[in-house]
Chains A and B, each alone.
Chain A
Amino acid sequence: MTTTRLLTVAPAARRRRTGTVERPRRSVLLTVLTGIVLVYSLIPLIWLFINASKTQSDLFSTFGLWFGGEFALFDNIGRALTYDDGIFLRWFGNTLLYVVVGAGGATLLAVLGGYALAKYRFPGKRAVFAVVIGAVAVPGTALAVPTFLMFSSMGLTNTPWSVIIPSLISPFGLYLMWTFASEAVPTELMEAARIDGASEFRIFWQVALRLLAPGMVTVLLFTMVATWNNYFLPLIMLRDPDWYPLIIGLNQWNAQAATAGGTAIFDLVLTGSLLTIVPLIIAFLFLQRYWQSGLSAGSVKE
């Protein structure tokens, strides 16, 4: 009795649960889980925004997840931008320089290298593969000190180059472009172009690069975030605050409270942090549609 009922009920239940591609079934559990993840990721941002709008004494005395007595966001922004002769803007400019040259350069190199590894056959390719895979596993932090000693003997420490040059290398980006290029650029297309008499450079520039755009944006976003948030490398390479990126500069502001005779400027640290993440948020909003197509590329065999 029980068995037959189960058997008759089961197909109907399954149909109801799976839904169709056009009308995906709604799952309360998944919605709740996604909601929790959403709240979990947004709370720090909301906290940052709320607290960047407080005066320092409100910061100390009022509840962290609600606004203080006075909405001082614009006053705080003004003070953060002008504090210590506007050093924040200088740090902002430095960060932009490191991101544009470092992350931009890393993306360019990854595209060139990934395309070559995916589409050309040459001796030693397997060795390169092994080295790249190995390099993905080595955290950049572990290389920072040897890099420092090497750069120091070359006289490059405490210059922007000491941050830019190591940022140019992104093994992960190279690997990503490699797999992406082998899927996204059909060899037949390259052969057709060759028959039409296009040079290898022209094939890369006019045919392959268009097809590689989604992957490029993905790598660009990864390297951008990595360079923007790079902490340890500039920390040991740079001594002159004039060359600091934002993240090291904010750390210096934060440390100022712990100095005999220093003044705590936690309000400015928070406002500065808020200003620091705004460009990243904008970059993600603008580039996300490229990124989505980049993520799914190669996932389905055509």
Chain B
Amino acid sequence: MTRITPRTRRVLIGTAVTGVASLALAGCSGGATDTDDALEEGGTITVWAWEPTLDQVVEDFEADNPGVTVDLVNVGTGIDSYTALSNAISAGTGLPDVAQVEYYALPQYALQGALQDLTEYGADEYEGTYAPGPWLSVTSGDQIIGLPMDSGPMALFYNKDVFDQYGIEVPTTWDEYLQAARDLHAANPDIYITNDSGDAGMAASIMWQAGGTPWTVDETTVSFDLEGDQGAQRYAEVWQTMLDEDLVSPISGWSDEWFAGLADGTIATLPIGAWMPANLEGSAPDGAGAWRVAPMPQWEEGEVTSSENGGSSLAIPADAENKELAYEFIEYANAGDGVQTRLDGGAFPATVADLESEEFLNEEFEYFGGQQANKVFSESSAAVVEGWQYLPFQVYANTVFGDSVGQAFLGQTTIAEGLAEWQSTLESYGTEQGFTIE
């Protein structure tokens, strides 16, 4: 890649932003169904989402478009929301016009045909607007089934004070990570390198970064290889070693204990998605100043690889009542003015223009001692390993992860055996659901 000076870069970004804006306009007139009229006609749409920054987006959208009412309803976070959505889909009534769906859950709905193909409204013109990872997640065959709302390129969040206190280097490879885990725990038995009680999302992100494809999906044919896959093997090896040597804290993520551990330094690192800063600031304020962000530890020295962790899209149910207006809204929220509003509220972008903008990259995080953390995240976003797919029943897969692999965290089995058991559970579930398992 050629070097670009800041000045030309800013000009380029300016063009990119105008490009996006004109695309947004073009999207309405380009042969596809015209959704622009829907805005003028007005009406009411219901949006099911738990993303906190959408409150402001909805307010602005309503102010810009008198006659349009957006009913933003938080029907639950993640799995609770999918339960409500699946119920509404199978009942055929009470569907929202827009639903927040995480990337990992999209294929599940897409395959049932439950989500509207947005190419009909011209969404294909947004290719290139979004980072490759999120864009890949919202495409299903030749359909586009949602617009990316945010993304979560992985980074290693670490407590610098703890590392400094014990004179330990911040790991750059997974081997060093293991050694740091040993050194930290030996120096102070209260301190663990990280916590994990069997988090499926984390496991997937680690396997993904390790270049894994533990399953491949070709329409309705799914094949599993959780034993031979490189990513699964690497995950099992590192995590099993940490479990055997008692180097991982058994605290569950997102619990009160977790936030306490993040604040007081007993959890020293978190390999997690780039949306984490807002959570640290809001929920572990006592850790301010101690934390920093580093690139993910690598599997081979000198490599630059990363993966995504979490992130969601806004999608439109195929049987929604007011799809034109719904599309206008998700376009505004995820490609139009709503993006900046959401960034100001602490969200992490999926849009290339924002990921590369100087303002974004130069932002100094007080929580991270003034570090320009977005530079790390942005590089991570560009280094996401290609080829990862989510299962067409990933929501189910994640909920049963704890029953098999999760048992290894309790010492009942090993991760390798847990993965094999997980695979056989998933194979029989897939067969029951009518997939061809190879």
Contacts and interface: CB of A to CB of B under 8 A. Distances in A.
A61, A261, A264: most-surrounded residue (chain B CB, <10 A): A261
A241 B74 contact: yes
A252 interface: yes
Interface string A248-281: 0000100111111111101000000000000000
B259 A236 contact: no
Interface stretch (B12-20, B35-43, B87-95, B407-415): B87-95
Given A57-B263, A153-B93, A266-B256, A239 B282 contact: no
B60 to A, nearest CB: 17
A238 B273 CA distance: 31
B278 A260 contact: yes
A212 B419 CA distance: 60
B91 A258 contact: no
A239 B72 CA distance: 11
Nearest to A265: B283
A204 interface: no
A259 B273 CA distance: 12
A148 B93 CA distance: 12
A165 interface: no
Interface in A104-150: 148-149
A191 B92 CA distance: 56
A188 to B, nearest CB: 54
Contacts of A152: 87, 91-94
Interface residues of B, number: 45
A260 B91 contact: no
B329 interface: no
A259 B259 contact: no
Contacts of B286: 57, 60-61
B83 A255 contact: no
Contact of A261 (B51, B93, B260): B51
Given A158-B94, A255-B80, A264 B73 contact: no
A240 interface: yes
A108 B270 CA distance: 56
A57 B152 CA distance: 27
Nearest to B278: A261
Nearest to A59: B256
A264 B282 contact: yes
Contacts of B276: 260
A263 B53 CA distance: 12
A249 B52 CA distance: 16
B310 interface: yes
Contacts of A158: 94
Contact of B254 (A59, A155, A235, A257): A257
Interface in B63-88: 73-78, 80, 83-84, 87-88
Nearest to A260: B275
B353 interface: no
Interface of chain A: mostly helix, strand, loop or mixed: helix
B345 interface: yes
B283 A259 contact: no
A236 B91 contact: no
The range of chain A's interface size is 20 to 34
Interface in A156-170: 157-158
B199 to A, nearest CB: 11
Interface string B263-297: 11000000001011011001101100000000000
Given A259-B51, A261-B278, A261-B346, A60 B77 contact: no
A258 B347 contact: no
B150 interface: yes
A157 B87 CA distance: 11
B74 A252 contact: yes
Contacts of B50: 255, 259, 262
A264 B52 CA distance: 12
A241 B73 contact: yes
A236 B83 contact: yes
Contact of A239 (B48, B92, B253, B275): B48
Given A236-B83, A252-B74, A263 B282 contact: yes
Nearest to B75: A239
A264 B256 contact: yes
A255 B282 contact: no
A262 B279 CA distance: 6
A236 B83 CA distance: 8
Nearest to B264: A61
Contact of A61 (B152, B260, B345): B260
Given A257-B254, A260-B152, A262-B52, A157 B94 contact: yes
B87 A148 contact: yes
Contacts of B278: 260-261
Nearest to A239: B75
Given A60-B259, A252-B76, A264-B283, A239 B52 contact: no
B290 to A, nearest CB: 14
Contact of B73 (A61, A239, A258, A266): A239
Nearest to B311: A260
A57, A158, A259: most-surrounded residue (chain B CB, <10 A): A259
Interface string A47-62: 0000000000101110
B347 A257 contact: no
Nearest to A155: B93
B254 A258 contact: yes
Interface in B232-278: 253-254, 256, 259-260, 263-264, 273, 275-276, 278
A257 B259 CA distance: 9
A236 B76 contact: no
A257, A260, A264: most-surrounded residue (chain B CB, <10 A): A260
Given A148-B87, A153-B91, A255-B80, A260 B273 contact: yes
Nearest to A60: B260
A241 B77 CA distance: 12
Nearest to B281: A263
Contacts of B310: 260
A260 B76 CA distance: 13
Given A258-B253, A262-B77, 17 more contacts: A60-B256, A157-B93, A157-B94, A239-B73, A239-B94, A240-B75, A255-B50, A255-B76, A258-B77, A258-B254, A259-B50, A260-B312, A261-B279, A261-B345, A262-B282, A263-B52, A263-B282
Interface of B: 48, 50-53, 73-78, 80, 83-84, 87-88, 90-94, 150, 152, 253-254, 256, 259-260, 263-264, 273, 275-276, 278-279, 282-283, 285-286, 310, 312, 345-348
12 contacts: A57-B263, A57-B286, A60-B286, A236-B84, A239-B73, A241-B74, A252-B74, A255-B76, A260-B273, A261-B279, A262-B279, A262-B283
Interface of A: 57, 59-61, 148-149, 152-153, 155, 157-158, 235-236, 239-241, 252, 255-264, 266
